[in-house]
């Protein structure tokens, strides 16, 4: 357009010159004054308009260059983040078994080191500490590996600088922190989830906490935690500018912080072979519990010794041992629309109570806990052997705010009607084994469970009658 205006101005100036050349008078003077506003060197309207067009064209060219740079940068960032996440996630999956084994070894090392100086450290605390340290190490190593092998070559291919040692250090720091936080929170959440899911008569809120905790103890949950850490670091220490690559690196670190393995690896010192072919319905609470359950399965005469020590009938104990330690349970409801088959997951407190009951070292309080647990499992095992499921598989049983299992008179299982392990009268402190019965449509019976559990058949008969089975 500027060139067109220059051409117009040149033609008009030529015409103007031919008009005024050799002419005089007021009309010619007025015409020259009028046209002077248009041509007047570089100050005339036509030259200024052409100049303005050229300036606008330059601004548009500059803007287009900036857009091209932005597109190029976005393409680079997308390639960096996408490839980094894919490679990092794949590497985390590939090294999961290694990190789990390392966490297990570190757990044992922490416990042993503490014992050597006379300090008792629980399996849970040691596991959280070991998993956090392992997560930090694997997060740092894997983040550096992905940055060196994937992120930096992609950045260099886009012409964005050369190989950077500083970037490797940043990746190590962000990945290590993400791995530590993701693994530590995941391991802690696992303990919370197990406590919530293991609590008899747990409230919907507590059940919801257990569900959220379970979500945190997954690779996506740990990746979200690590990514959040990466973004938070940038927000605090990078002037509020969040680098997508830092977020991706944090996610890789979180993914690298794996959880403890469900099963021990053959050939290691803590491995004990299963006495049957089934796996567990859920992950064992700890390696210690898993090994204790295996020893209990292999033990002979333990129910006889426990019967002598506690007074509980041996036939009830035999049924409980099979139910808890040996039996493979089919299609156990573990979540909404989800079932699993296998043995019940090894639990620390159950292994501890059974072992002490066999050796005769239960305290007074523990003896009461063991009998309440035995009453619950004694009834539950009998009902499940009759074909009553552990829990109802009806989707309606999960229709609540947190979509957690909540039994009702229409939807219930053997676990829900078995005597309560922990319920006590807040005024008298007496056991209330049938407190949950009204919730599932059963009236509370005027029945006291015998100390030797010899009247569990009466409890089972009341359930059959109340439920017309």
Q: What is the pLDDT of residues 282-306, one digit of tens each?
A: 889 899 999 999 999 999 999 999 9
Least confident stretch, 24-28, 42-46, 141-145, 394-398: 42-46
Residue 11 counted as domain residue? no
Residues 347-378 pLDDT 10s: 999 999 999 999 999 999 999 999 999 999 99
Answer yes or no: do 90 and 226 share one domain.
Answer: yes
Answer yes or no: do 228 and 348 share one domain.
Answer: no
Q: How confident is the model at residue 273 (pLDDT cuts 50, 70, 90)?
A: very low
Q: Where are the alpha helices (DSSP H) in 274-422?
A: 287-298, 302-310, 314-321, 348-359, 364-385, 414-417
CA-to-CA dists, residue 16 to 24, 49, 389, angstroms: 14, 19, 105
Q: Is 71 exposed, middle or buried (0-12, 13-18, 19+ CB in 10 A)?
A: exposed
Determine the Cα–Cα distance for residues 422 and 434; give it in Å rounded to an integer: 11
Does the pLDDT at position 200 exceed 50? no
Answer yes or no: do 135 and 223 share one domain.
Answer: yes
Domain of 97, in residue numbers: 80-256
Structure tokens at 48: 């200024």
Answer yes or no: do 221 and 312 share one domain.
Answer: no
Residue 421 counted as domain residue? yes
Determine the Cα–Cα distance for residues 354 and 318; give it in Å rounded to an integer: 12
Determine the Cα–Cα distance for residues 107 and 286; give it in Å rounded to an integer: 10
Answer yes or no: do 244 and 316 share one domain.
Answer: no
Phi, psi angle pair for 264, to nearest 5°: -75, 160
Determine the Cα–Cα distance for residues 5 and 90; give it in Å rounded to an integer: 62
Answer yes or no: do 151 and 299 share one domain.
Answer: no
Residue 30 counted as domain residue? no
Determine the Cα–Cα distance for residues 447 and 177; give it in Å rounded to an integer: 57
Answer yes or no: do 300 and 247 share one domain.
Answer: no
The model carries a pTM of 0.47
**CA atoms within 13 A of residue 47's CA, in its CB half-sphere:** 12
Of 100, 120, 90, 421, nearest in space to 283 by CA: 100
For 109, residues 6+ apart whose C-beta sits below 8 A from its C-beta are 130
The predicted model gives 24-50 an average pLDDT of: 70
Q: How many domains does the chain have?
A: 2
Answer yes or no: do 247 and 369 share one domain.
Answer: no
**CA atoms within 13 A of residue 421's CA, in its CB half-sphere:** 21
Determine the Cα–Cα distance for residues 84 and 241; give it in Å rounded to an integer: 20
Residue 102 counted as domain residue? yes
Residue 183 counted as domain residue? yes
Does the pLDDT at position 122 exceed 90? no
CB of 156 closer than 8 Å to CB of 121: no
Answer yes or no: do 344 and 240 share one domain.
Answer: no
The predicted model gives 384-388 an average pLDDT of: 95
Answer yes or no: do 300 and 196 share one domain.
Answer: no
Residue 16 counted as domain residue? no
Least confident stretch, 152-156, 252-256, 338-342: 252-256
Residue 3 counted as domain residue? no
Answer yes or no: do 85 and 185 share one domain.
Answer: yes
Residue 348 counted as domain residue? yes
Question: According to the per-residue pLDDT averaged within each range, which of 9-18, 103-112, 312-321 is highest?
Answer: 312-321
Answer yes or no: do 221 and 307 share one domain.
Answer: no
**CA atoms within 13 A of residue 311's CA, in its CB half-sphere:** 9
- pLDDT attached to residue 24: 74
Least confident stretch, 177-191, 392-406, 450-464: 177-191
């Amino acid at each position: 357009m500027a060139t067109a205006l220059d051409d117009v101005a040149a033609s008009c100036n030529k015409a103007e010159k031919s008009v005024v050349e050799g002419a005089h008078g007021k009309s010619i003077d007025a015409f020259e004054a009028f046209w002077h506003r248009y041509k007047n060197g570089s100050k005339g309207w036509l030259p200024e308009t052409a100049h303005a067009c050229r300036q606008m064209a330059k601004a548009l060219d500059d803007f287009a260059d900036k857009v091209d740079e932005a597109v190029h940068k976005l393409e680079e960032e997308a390639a960096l983040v996408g490839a980094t996440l894919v490679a990092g996630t794949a590497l985390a999956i590939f090294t999961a078994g290694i990190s789990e084994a390392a966490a297990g070894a570190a757990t044992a090392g922490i416990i042993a080191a503490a014992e050597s100086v006379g300090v008792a450290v629980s399996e849970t605390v040691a596991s959280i500490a070991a998993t956090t340290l392992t997560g930090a190490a694997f997060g740092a190593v894997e983040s550096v590996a992905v940055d060196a092998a994937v992120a930096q070559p992609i950045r260099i291919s886009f012409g964005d600088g050369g190989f950077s040692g500083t970037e490797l250090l940043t990746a190590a720091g962000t990945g290590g922190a993400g791995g530590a936080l993701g693994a530590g929170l995941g391991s802690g959440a696992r303990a919370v989830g197990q406590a919530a899911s293991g609590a008899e008569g747990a409230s919907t809120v507590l059940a919801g906490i257990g569900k959220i905790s379970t979500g945190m103890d997954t690779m996506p949950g740990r990746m979200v935690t690590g990514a959040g850490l990466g973004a938070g670091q940038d927000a605090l220490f990078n002037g509020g500018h969040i680098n997508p690559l830092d977020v991706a690196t944090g996610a890789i670190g979180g993914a690298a912080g794996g959880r403890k393995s469900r099963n021990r690896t053959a050939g290691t010192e803590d491995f004990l072979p299963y006495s049957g072919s089934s796996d567990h319905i859920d992950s064992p609470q700890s390696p210690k519990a898993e090994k204790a359950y295996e020893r209990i399965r292999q033990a002979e005469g333990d129910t006889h010794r426990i019967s002598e020590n506690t007074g509980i009938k041996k036939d009830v104990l035999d049924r409980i041992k099979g139910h808890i330690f040996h039996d493979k349970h089919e299609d156990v409801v573990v979540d909404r629309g989800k079932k699993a088959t296998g043995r019940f997951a090894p639990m620390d407190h159950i292994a501890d109570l059974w072992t002490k009951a066999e050796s005769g070292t239960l305290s007074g309080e523990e003896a009461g806990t063991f009998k309440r647990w035995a009453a619950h499992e004694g009834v539950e095992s009998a009902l499940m052997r009759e074909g009553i499921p552990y829990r109802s598989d009806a989707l309606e049983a999960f229709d609540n705010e947190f979509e957690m299992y909540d039994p009702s008179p229409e939807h219930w299982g053997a676990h829900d009607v078995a005597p309560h392990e922990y319920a006590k009268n807040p005024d008298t402190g007496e056991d209330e084994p049938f407190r949950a019965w009204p919730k599932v449509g059963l009236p509370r019976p005027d029945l006291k469970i015998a100390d030797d559990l010899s009247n569990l058949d009466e409890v089972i008969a009341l359930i059959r009658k109340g439920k017309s089975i």
